[in-house]
Structure 1
Amino acid sequence: MLSIKNISTSLLVLLLISVTSCYDLEEVNINPNGVDPANAHPNLLMSTVITGVAQTVVNLGYGDIAGVVQHTQKDGWSGSHNSYEWSDQSWNSYYSILRNNDELYNKGVEMGLEFHQGMALVMKSYVFGLITDLWGDAPYSAALQGEAGGAENIKPAFDAQQDIYAGILADLETANTLLSKSQDAYSDINSTQDVLFRGNVRRWQQFANSLALRYYMRLSEKDPGTARAGVEKIAGDPATYPLITNTADDATVDFVGNSDADSWPANTVFDGTGGSNFRRLKMCSTLIETLQRLNDPRLGVWAEKIDIPIVVDDQLESGTDEIIEGIRYVARDIAQQYENSLGFPVDTDPNYVGLPPAWSIVPQAYNLNPNLEQGPQNPHASHLNDRYQNPAGELLKSRLLSAAEVHFILAEAGIKGWSVGASAEEHYYAGVAASLEAWQVSGDFADYVDGSSVAFAGTIEQVLEQKWIASWTAAAEAWFDYRRTGFPALEAGVIVKRPALPLRFYYSLDEIDYNPENAAAAISNLQETSFTAPDGKNSAWSKIWVLQGTGKPY
């Protein structure tokens, strides 16, 4: 996966953790040529857990969820990305990470290694947080017990979402305590295997508290009393609860770029599609137009300018369509025919053009693309910046949690009237500055915030717009914020499964078929909306507990 430099170690980890017995699940199939699990050191598991989480975050935030929050769109194979054509979404890979992490934690307990216990609790909280945010109720307290046998372990009960959130916050409180000592108080830390923070205990503690801050804010509409108390507790005692407040401390994992498994997704070196997967992914007009409106310096970091601008010239003879010195000139009747047929006008922006969200069943035709048989080769729409063709690079990171997010959370809390130390305005500007620094355009900060739309206006909508922008390639968090607040005010496209943004993942058919009683109980706890039908309650448009009764986002 990401940043794994010792392939032999990784193979040993896979052999160690895989339970592939074709016999009863109570029997553990141990490779006689491998390492005895009873003797394995938790350091051998650390990079596997971290990179598994990192890959998951990128797969969500650079994949279909980037389509949901309208950072990107696809002009082919676009159904799940553009139009929410989801049906059967499995959490198996998430629980696979958790099984490895559970072994790491248990080894840490057996060996009295507080660092390993603390970091394992942080990763446990991160993954279970994703699971409950994506699906709702889920196996939690009874999860990961399959090796013990028994129906209650093989088919575990689903915990209520509110109980999972409470467990996450309790584990993060414990992690903060375990990680609160000086660096030299811990032993057996292997900085090479810790591909997130290189064995830096303080940064793991900051990560734990920043993640807790995220989950307190997640509860802000459903349970504002708990949310406020938690945020104020953390923000009011930085000595006890240090946070990620500087970009240098961001929780990020680099890609190595040696093979498809440890490279940036859809790169043109290892992807195997001849570059088609990369070229199919285009910038979404929602993000492009927002960045243009704000004169945002991150636009050129993330997007390429179009190859050939279009000029619609009313003076040209009917039917004229020609390229002169790198500019395509078309007559008004051609532009009008295109608009009449596909419902959108020709976009004549000379620099950046994004695909509108779910605008057509033939998205490759956007903006008079002359290469319909080779749809990805659209000279009139903005591809992603060329850096995203590479397997690895300085900016190609899995971004688990950032200083920008922390400051935007505190800015939102400040606007709500909660006590967060500095003012909401200070945290807002610190969040903007942190994101610009992360994308290496910090020199543009002063000019950027002087713009009338970026200067602090004291609204949660403005804070959430900047947070949405800053979540580029980590879009799942922007989706969760949208569900909680309705900001940014995103609207579904024309060709979509339902005329509203989805709110959750479906419970998979495997889970429903294999664990029907517990799955049915979880589904019964969902709340239908006007967009749920004809799915029944197990719908991407049903509300999980944290949204029920809030009136958000619809």
Structure 2
Amino acid sequence: MKKFNIKFIAVTLSMLLVFGACHDLDELNINPNAPDPEVTDLNLLMPTLIIDLGQTIVSLGIGDIAGVMQHTQKTGWSSGHNDYDWNDPGQSWSGYYGILRNADEFYNKAVEGELEFHQGVGLTLKAYAFGLIADLWGDAPFTEALKAESGPDFYKPVFNSQQDIYHGILAYLEEANTLLSKDNSEYTNVITSQDVLYAGDAAKWRKFANSLALRYYMRLQAKEPSVAQEGISKIAGDPGKYPLITVTEDEANIAYLGTSPGTSWPINMVYDINPQGEYMRRKPCATLVEALQALGDPRLGVWAEKVEIPLVLVPGTGVDRIVDGKREISKDVEEEFLEKWEGEDDLYVDYDQEYVGIPPSTFSAQAYNLTPNYTQQAAYNPHISQLSEMYKEASGSLLLMRLLSAAEVNFILAEAALYSWVSGNPETYYANGIKESLNAWEVGNQFDSYIQGAAYNGLESIMQQKWIASWTAAAESWFDWRRTGLPDLKAGVSARREKLPLRFYYKIDEDLSTNRENAEAAVAKLEPTPYKGTDQTNNSAWSKTWLLQGTNKPY
């Protein structure tokens, strides 16, 4: 896929109407410096709308969800990332509804102007954002959302069920498929430079819409299997009517321009030179590192750096020295270090000479593996792997906002084939998923050798590879883990609960205080699990939304 830089963002940001959250508005949150939305060309909304969504996906994918899914761990200010310390005051969805207000404005203008390409794009982006809200929180405003301008009756919108939201966005995507089915020459007012995702290519937007529908039909696999089967069979069985993203060139990726903090990879050290900044706080998690090492996975070398000073266990006592670029220690030095961390009986020193990740939810994260300056948060540790040097950069060929990948689509088809919902061999789709992920990370030339050590063995292998392929887009692997329990991830000793969390908390001061009646009705429908702990109500990250209730998944 041609990847488009966000070169219009600075100009566009200054011209857009910025909307606040769609719910519970006693006053509209309108930017007085922005032009009247009634006279703003809808094309000027497009780049910011796409980029805001992309940045949201990256924020989730390298943020706390990457900690939950054990892609990364933090060595400073880590409790939310490593330990799921989320409950006070909860997670805000105002940014998501801000995206939706712009998407709704974009779509409505397209309807008024009879612009079918823009209508299809608007519906696809609305479906994506509403789907995220349902995935992350559960029940949420949907049918009465985005209507605050219509008056006080919509200031406190009802929360639609998670089920209804999923069905609603699938209807959006079905309509988008039809709207985007024409040749590019048949659409009007398409400014290719404003479409920073696909440069006005309707066929690629159509593939994006259908691939997103495939994602949400599979989301219903455990809860509404007949709906999931019918939808996936419909799409996969008619590629002429429902084309999909199956190769890397069609992926929904957006590149960074890298000319300012707002147009750059978010944890770069070009604009944040703090040695304890966002880049330095994140380290690869041992769970992922060890899985990749077991597979001989070439993506490990793309995503992480080798240990600068490996540790070596040597005979004797009191040995702690640097020899030929390695730190030699004796067993008593190791034991003295490990004794500092009471309550972590399974803590260990990792003597791997190439890659070392941090175990999940460990009290010793910032000190793990004999960090020389272990009292300092986010201190550099030469005895563990850092994220790849490319993540220090502001932009680069692999620094992308990854909305939906060809690997994901192939893994969905592999799972569907396993259930006999689509024709074809699940092993073939599985291999295609791996191949496209390797292509996406520019190591596709190693596929033939890699697949020999990554044999297909049913759902477990599909979900493991899908989890790996979701690097920097970890939210999708979280949603898969919830419905399948795969991969089998364990919470560490410092985690807030014995199990991984299942959802975001509704934010107290946005919903539970200001739209109380509707919010409390939604909370009452959540099903608490034994891991709710000290949470006072069902508004817990360890409560089950509709999607998980009755499925016995993931616990």
TM-score, normalising length: structure 1: 0.95
Superimposed CA distance per residue, residues 278-303 of structure 1 (whole angstroms, 9 cap, x where no aligned partner) = 11110000000000000001000000
Unaligned ranges ≥5, structure 2: none
Using the TM superposition, give the Cα deviation of residue 274 of structure 1 relative to its aligned residue in structure 2, in angstroms: 4.0
Corresponding position of 1:413 = 416
Q: Which structure 2 residues correspond to residues 303-342 of structure 1 after superposition, within 5 A?
A: 303-313=304-314, 315-316=315-316, 318-342=317-341
Which residue is equivalent to 1:277? Answer: 278
Task: Quote the residue 2:542 is aligned against.
Answer: 541
The CA distance in 2 between the partners of 1:288 and 1:456, in whole Å, is 20
| Structure 1 range deviating more: 409-418 or 513-522 | 409-418
Residue in structure 1 matched with residue 358 of structure 2 by the alignment: 355
The one-letter code matched in structure 1 to 2:467 is W
| 2:115 is the alignment partner of 1:113 | yes
Shift of the 415–523 alpha-carbon distance from structure 1 to 2, 3 Å rule, reads same
Cα deviation for residue 26 of structure 1 reads: 7.0
Counterpart Cα distance in 2 of 1:153 and 1:460: 44
Q: Look up the match of 1:261.
A: 262
Q: Partner of 2:491 in structure 1?
A: 492
Q: What is the distance in 2 between the residues matched to 1:401 and 1:7?
A: 21
- Which stretch of the first structure deviates more once superposed, 272-281 or 165-174? 272-281
- Say which SS state the counterpart of residue 122 (structure 2) adopts: helix
The Cα offsets for residues 109-140 of structure 1, whole Å up to 9 and x where unpaired, read as 00010000000000000000000000000000
User: Separation in 1 of the partners of 2:286 and 2:446?
Assistant: 23
User: Are the equivalent residues in 1 in contact too, given 2:141–2:159 (CA < 8 A)?
Assistant: yes
Shift of 1:19: 7.4
Structure 2 distance, partners of 1:491, 1:275, is 28
Is 1:4–1:10's contact at 8 Å kept on the other side of the alignment? no
* Partner Cα distance (1:11, 1:482) in 2: 36
Following TM superposition, by how much is the alpha carbon of 1:25 offset from its aligned partner in structure 2, in angstroms? 5.6
Deviations 1:328-382 (A, max 9, x none): 111111112223333412110000000000111x421101111224452101111
Partner residue of 1:396 out of 396, 399, 403: 399
**Cα gap change, 1:11 to 1:442, in 2 (>3 Å):** closer
Aligned with residue 372 of structure 1, among 367, 371, 374: 374
2:228 aligns with 227
Instruction: Tell me the secondary structure at the aligned position of residue 412 of structure 1.
Output: helix
The DSSP-based 3-state class of the residue aligned with 2:538 is coil
The CA deviation string for residues 438-487 of structure 1, in whole angstroms up to 9 with x for no partner, is 00000100100111xx1222x10100000000000000000000001000
One-letter amino acid of the counterpart of residue 496, structure 1: A
Query: Percent identical across equivalent pairs?
Result: 52
Match of 1:83 in 2: 83
Q: Does residue 1:194 correspond to 2:199, yes or no?
A: no
2: distance between equivalents of 1:358 and 1:122? 37
Greater Cα offset, 298-307 or 260-269: 260-269
Quote the Cα distance in structure 2 between the aligned partners of 1:279 and 1:103: 39
The answer on 1:519 being equivalent to 2:492 is no
Amino acid at match of 1:356: P
- Corresponding residue SS for 1:38: coil
- For residues 477 and 471 of structure 2, the distance between their equivalents in structure 1, rounded to whole angstroms, comes to 9
State the Cα deviation string for residues 42-91 of structure 1 (Å, max 9, x = none). 10100111001000000000111000000000011000000000021110
Q: Which residue of 1 aligns with 2:124?
A: 122
Counterpart position of 1:504? 503
Aligned to 1:246: 247
Any idea what SS the aligned residue of 1:311 has?
Answer: strand
User: Residue 9 of structure 1 aligns with which residue?
Assistant: 11
Q: Distance in 2 between matches of 1:506 and 1:489?
A: 23
Q: 2: distance between equivalents of 1:502 and 1:26? A: 34
The one-letter code matched in structure 1 to 2:444 is S
How far apart are the structure 2 equivalents of 1:222 and 1:346?
43
1:55 equivalent in structure 2: 55
Instruction: Give yes or no for the alignment of 1:144 onto 2:146.
Output: yes
Give the C-alpha shift of residue 8 in structure 1: 5.7
SS of structure 2 residue aligned to 1:226:
helix
Alpha-carbon separation, structure 2, partners of 1:27 and 1:398: 30
Q: Quick check: 1:450 aligned with 2:414?
A: no
Q: Deviation per CA, 1:249-306, whole angstroms, max 9, x where unpaired?
A: 0001111111111111121111253453211110000000000000001000000001
Q: Does the CA contact (< 8 Å) of 1:118 and 1:174 recur in 2?
A: yes
| Aligned partner letter, 1:397 | L
Q: 438, 441, 446: which is aligned to 2:440? A: 438
In the alignment, which of 367, 383, 388 is matched to residue 385 of structure 1?
388
Separation of aligned partners in 2, 1:176 and 1:155: 32
Task: Give the secondary-structure state (helix, strand or coil) at the position aligned to 1:121.
Answer: helix
Q: 1:357 to 1:241 in 2, by over 3 A?
A: same
Distance 2:77 2:20 in 1: 35
Q: Structure 1 residues 35-44 or 486-495, which shifts more? A: 35-44
CA contact (8 A) 1:268 1:275 kept: no
The TM-score, its normalising length taken from structure 2, stands at: 0.95
**Which residue is 1:72 aligned to?**
72
Tell me which amino acid in the other structure corresponds to 1:409.
I
Look up the SS of the partner of 2:432 in the other structure.
Answer: helix
Matched AA of 1:78: S
Off by >4 Å, runs of 4+ in structure 1: 24-31
CA distance in structure 1 between the partners assigned to 2:67 and 2:452 by the alignment: 30
- Secondary structure at 1:53 match in 2: helix
